[in-house]
Amino acid sequence: MKPPHIVIIGNGVSANRASEVLRENDPDVRITLISREFFLFYFRHKLPAFITGSIDEDSLIVHDLHFYMDRNIRLRLGQTVQKIDLENKTLFLSHMEMVHYDKLLICSGGQSHIPEIYYPFRSFFTTLKKLSDARDIRKKLPLINRIVIVGGDLTSLRLADALIRSGREVSFILDDFAFWPIESGPDIRHALETALKKVGATVISGDPLERIERISDGDPPEYAVYTRKGQQLRAQMVGAFFGFKPDVDFLIRSGLDIDRGILVDDRLQTTYPDVFAAGDCAQVYAPHLNNYWVSIGWKNAIMLGEIAAANMSGSEQPVSMPVEQRIRFSDLQLKTPWWHAL
Amino acid sequence: MNKYIPPDGWSTHSRDLNYIRTNIPCQWACPAFTNIPGYIEAVFHGDFDRAYLINRRSNLFPGVLGRICTRPCESACRHGESDLGQPVSICHIKRIAADNTSDDHLILEQLFSPSGKTVGIVGAGPAGLAAAHSLALFGHRVTVYESFEMPGGMLYYGIPAFRLPRAVISEEVFNALRQGIELRTGVTLGKDIYLPDLMAKHDAVILAAGCQDARSLNVPGEDLPGVISGLDFMMQVNRGHRDCVGRRVMVIGGGFTAVDCSRSARRLGAEEVYIAIRGVEEDLTVPVDEIRDMYREGIRFVSLVSALSIDGVDHVSGIRFVRNRFGGIRGSGGRCILPIEGSEFSMDIDTVIAAIGQVPQSGLSEWSEQSVSYNPDSGRSSVPGLYGAGDYIRKASTVIEAIGNGRRVAENVDEDLMRRRRRLQVVSIESTGNTHRERTWDFIERHDMPTIDFDDRLRNQDAEVETGYSIQTGTEAASRCYLCNLKYEIHIPECIYCRWCIDVCPRNCIDLTETLNEDLPAPVHSGSVTAQWSRTAGVVIDSDRCIRCGECYRVCPMQCIHVTRVELQDHCVSREIP
Ligand SMILES: Cc1cc2nc3c(=O)[nH]c(=O)nc-3n(C[C@H](O)[C@H](O)[C@H](O)COP(=O)(O)OP(=O)(O)OC[C@H]3O[C@@H](n4cnc5c(N)ncnc54)[C@H](O)[C@@H]3O)c2cc1C
Ligand SMILES: Cc1cc2nc3c(=O)[nH]c(=O)nc-3n(C[C@H](O)[C@H](O)[C@H](O)COP(=O)(O)OP(=O)(O)OC[C@H]3O[C@@H](n4cnc5c(N)ncnc54)[C@H](O)[C@@H]3O)c2cc1C
Ligand code: SF4
Ligand code: SF4
Ligand code: SF4
């Protein structure tokens, strides 16, 4: 009889860590990682440095192919899972292939969040989540001098710093929606403002985005960005940085329980016994918060990947809330249990 | 080897009816069977009058539905299959037809001669009006009894003006009543009139009284001042009361009523508005555009909670919840929702709007002390001559379901009165000799509905939020429709098996088959697919996957791919179809 097939959706940090643990626990199971992206597993936090050219693509890579060969893990890149038939334990890939699993771990990560009020301008926004986004920005960058960033999440701070160092003018329109799903409020906004000004950005605070117009289609295009109080900025690129939200759209109506993310119990199991979720896409109930939480962050994704893998191999390990850590950006210090200084 | 190619004309063959079911998914999903590709094509050609008429034949209120329909058709639309992008914006296209009819456009009706029969209808909501309109066309004398001062039911008293301007309702309701229907407003069954008298007066009576009793929350504190039912709240708002909310409002429920209450409360000055739902956002029964609008208006969801109690001394001051978790699938199909022990929490609020559903008024249809039962599809009841329609017999549903049901019930009343079926569903078949589409149109993205600015929404609370597509956008949106009413068939005797069509087909839906099953109630024919050339008996198109892109038609060297337009139509007959 063939050994059971464990399929992991995703090739990010939680998926990779989980595959490693699964292999340590059982030398025989068949393990397959499926990822929509064409690239090997890479460090997402290094993307800003890659964009401005201070590092090349090779330095982004975490594991090369030997990692998978040595562990007998099958890696399928550039393949998108389109839907799941939970009753028949089958995944449907977008190129019309069906893949059977015995156990499934979903590590589909996060996607850039655009608040509903700005939804009409989504086609004007540049976002940064994947290497393909970064490649795109890096390609356009030589022609670009003026950049407006709307939002102000943790990713955008690092990007702004890198862009300013490379000689670009960066203006921020700070927004209360930046730390989705938490509103940042005036104190954090004020601290952010000071920190950003210190690295050389122009900052508009307390005057949110009203609308964006594309005023020329040239290369690069030109945008006019208006705030509610009537300020007008010109830019060749408008970045939207409002944090990440779970990338679970492909699971809606699959039968899995989806709220903001995939609802899992404290063993990271979904309502289907052989289906688990870990990393940025999972939503867990935390008794000490008396609320559900979705964690977005690298180390936390590692921890969840490990726990899910252990539980898929038969343990009964509950998740615990990660310890709060300080992260610094210029003079700004934030405490978060999820996002870590990398 | 000849195959079934229906001749141009009418068909009532089950095979052709079945084609509609499996191949025009939007039309089949519409509770009124609106000929969607038909009107979308008319919009594409700029013929808004025709598009309006095609719509009105099935759904009576195109301008209304083009704004507030729940769009079951869009969920079924082929363009929305997971690898094909987003569904066609069927509803927005309907609206553009309604908004742009010419000033002197004709409303054509198929009118039977007077029958001498009379029908009484209780309730002038969408179901009652649709039934009244159909019965008037059948030649019967119709009287509608309505307890409110205005006709329209929940269109008028439930749905707020910022989603559905009152002028649109009055114009279309007026047009529905124009066939000599007598409307008596301010008349309530059970108070001003009684069922036995109505039954004696009319040859048939239809109760279309909707669902107007609010379900209660059944939690302590529900009677405190500051707690109001969703329907009462919307009725007050729609009657012009403007001082019915506080500053921090908690709406409980996940349907239209809840969403409308929350958006209205925001417009009436509430600073913080929350919607509490037992499950998750995915369960909401409102279209996603509207959820997006809610977010834009600053309304927040509190998901996975159940109310435990409403707190306060002489007015609401807070609400206590417990958090929920899902506990697997119940036997009946729904998900189990279970409380999480120890997860209780409170929120400070000053208004609670309980919008957890409505039920039909009890006791309306008691008849000789026996309670009456209804068939929710046919509307016939256990009492001869008494019928029900719409939400009253089908539980709270949607406008389009109420209209579809009202029309069907009217057909059944007519059949019982006249002892024969006088309106039939038939399939019209017509060869087109053209694909009517270009492949590039398949790549156009769905267009967002433009809306007014946030500040304007608060400044004028009745201002319609959605402004409608421009004609240019509407035409482009219409070009996205695959026109699933076009049927692509390969005429096998002429085919030379060159397989060019297979090479160009982007959906991989042309197959070599070993056998040809011609008598199945299948669309065109099907057969068992083979990869072996020597066993091939034919080349067939799987219409269910086909996106009518026309690539095969254009490439075929033998021109043996035929395109026919297949449409479901209502056909009025005074005698049996020959
Ligand atoms: C620019 C940037 C900077 C960051 N900086 C930091 C930092 O400094 N500190 C920190 O703690 N965190 C940081 N993060 C966040 C951190 O990278 C994420 O929290 C972490 O990568 C989450 O890992 P994951 O395994 O859950 O998912 P991801 O890494 O997001 O991986 C998701 C995977 O799922 C695949 N996938 C998704 N859907 C499908 C589908 N339908 N079919 C097939 N495959 C699919 C994707 O291709 C991808 O491989 C940063 C993120 C970015 C983008
Ligand atoms: C706030 C709200 C928002 C909604 N939004 C939408 C939406 O966006 N899209 C959608 O598709 N559906 C929506 N609905 C649902 C939709 O309005 C109903 O499903 C539909 O109106 C049902 O039609 P009906 O004719 O069966 O009943 P109703 O519209 O309820 O009409 C019943 C009529 O009967 C009259 N009546 C009742 N009792 C008596 C009596 N004893 N004597 C005389 N007359 C009587 C009533 O006054 C009323 O006019 C909404 C409902 C509400 C409450
Ligand atoms: S593509 Fe057009 S005809 Fe086909 S299902 Fe969608 S709306 Fe209907
Ligand atoms: S029209 Fe022809 S080529 Fe296009 S999807 Fe249908 S069968 Fe394939
Ligand atoms: S292109 Fe025409 S002739 Fe060739 S296989 Fe297709 S239908 Fe037959």
Instruction: Find, among B257, B53, B84, the residue nearest to B175 by Cα.
Output: B53
Nearest residue to A44 (alpha-carbon basis) of A73, A15, A6, A2: A15
Lowest pLDDT segment from B424-428, B483-487, B548-552: B424-428
CB pairs under 8 A between A and B: 57
Higher-scoring residue by pLDDT: A301, A192: A301
Using the Cβ of A227 and the Cβ atoms of chain B, whether some distance falls under 8 Å is answered with: no
Q: What confidence tens digit (pLDDT) does each residue in B255-272 have?
A: 999 999 999 999 999 999
Whole-complex ipTM: 0.79
Nearest CA-CA distance, residue B441 and chain A, Å: 19
The DSSP 8-state label assigned to residue B90 in this structure reads H
A21-41 average pLDDT score = 96
pLDDT, one tens digit per residue, over B121-157 is 999 999 999 999 999 999 999 999 999 999 999 999 9
Q: Is the CB of A11 under 6 A from ligand 1?
A: yes
Which residue do the tokens 């529900």 mark?
Answer: B222
The answer on pLDDT for B533 being more than 80 is no
Q: Is there a contact between A119 and B292 if contact means CB atoms under 8 Å apart?
A: yes
Amino acid, single-letter form, for residue A56: D
What are the φ/ψ torsions at residue A153 (nearest 5 degrees)? -85, -175
Distance from CA of B68 to the nearest CA of A (A): 20
Cβ contacts of A116 on chain B, cutoff 8 Å: 292-293, 295-296
CA distance B113 to B111: 7
- Asked if B572 and B112 count as a contact pair (C-beta separation under 8 A), the reply is yes
Helical H runs in B202-287? 230-238, 256-267
Sequence length of chain A is 342
When pLDDT is cut at 50, 70 and 90, the band that residue B4 belongs to is very low
| Residue B68 identity (one-letter amino acid) | I
Please state, in angstroms and as integers, the Cα–Cα distance from residue B14 to each residue in B107, B325, B521, B522, B573, following that order: 31, 47, 7, 9, 19
A262-297 pLDDT, tens per residue?
999 999 999 898 999 999 999 998 888 788 888 888
Chain A contact set for B473 (CB, 8 A): none
Q: How far apart are CA B144 and CA A281, in angstroms?
A: 55
> Which residue type occupies B328?
G
Chain B residues within 8 Å of chain A (Cβ atoms):
82-83, 280-282, 292-293, 295-296, 303-304, 323, 325-329, 335, 340, 342-343, 345, 448, 450-451, 454, 508
Give whole-number Cα distances, B464 to A72, B286, B453, in Å.
60, 18, 11
- Res B292: pLDDT: 87
- Per-residue H/E/C for B111-136: CCCCCCCEEEEECCCHHHHHHHHHHH
Write the CA distances from A156 to A6, A125, A131, A133, A194, integer angstroms.
Answer: 36, 13, 15, 14, 15
Percentage of residues of chain B with pLDDT beyond 70:
94
What pLDDT, in 10s, does the model give residues B195-254? Answer: 999 999 999 999 999 998 889 899 999 999 999 999 999 999 999 988 888 999 999 999
Question: Could you give the CA distance from residue A260 to residue A248 in angstroms, rounded to a whole number?
Answer: 8
* Helix or strand (DSSP H, E) at A160: helix A154-165
Residue B501 near residue B489 (C-beta atoms within 8 A): no
Task: Name the residue of B486, B507, B524, B526 whose CB sits within 8 Å of the most ligand 4 atoms, as the mutation to test its pocket.
Answer: B507
The H or E element spanning position A133 is helix A131-140
Q: Is B388 in the pocket of ligand 2 (CB under 6 A)?
A: no
A271 contact residues in B (CB cutoff 8 A):
326-329, 335
Cβ–Cβ < 8 Å for B406, B126? yes
Q: What is the CA radius of gyration of chain A?
A: 21
Ligand at minimal distance from the CA of B536 is 5
Task: Look at A257 and B292 and tell me if their CB atoms are within 8 Å.
Answer: no
The pTM (predicted TM-score) of the whole model is 0.88
Q: Tell whether ligand 3 has an atom less than 6 A from the beta carbon of residue B556.
A: no
CA distance A161 to chain B (A): 31
Question: In angstroms, rounded to a whole number, what is the distance separating the alpha carbons of residues A304 and A319?
Answer: 7
* pLDDT of the residue at B366: 65
Strand A146-151 and strand A237-241: pairing? parallel
Ligand 4 atom nearest the C-alpha of B548 is 1
CA distance A258 to chain B (A): 7
- Distance of CA A129 to CAs A134, A135, A317, B225, Å? 8, 11, 30, 50
Q: Rounded to an integer, what distance in angstroms lies between the CA atom of residue A58 and that of residue A54?
A: 12
Are B335 and A257 within 8 A, CB to CB? yes
Count of other CB atoms within 10 angstroms of residue B177: 19
What is the reported pLDDT for B47? 97
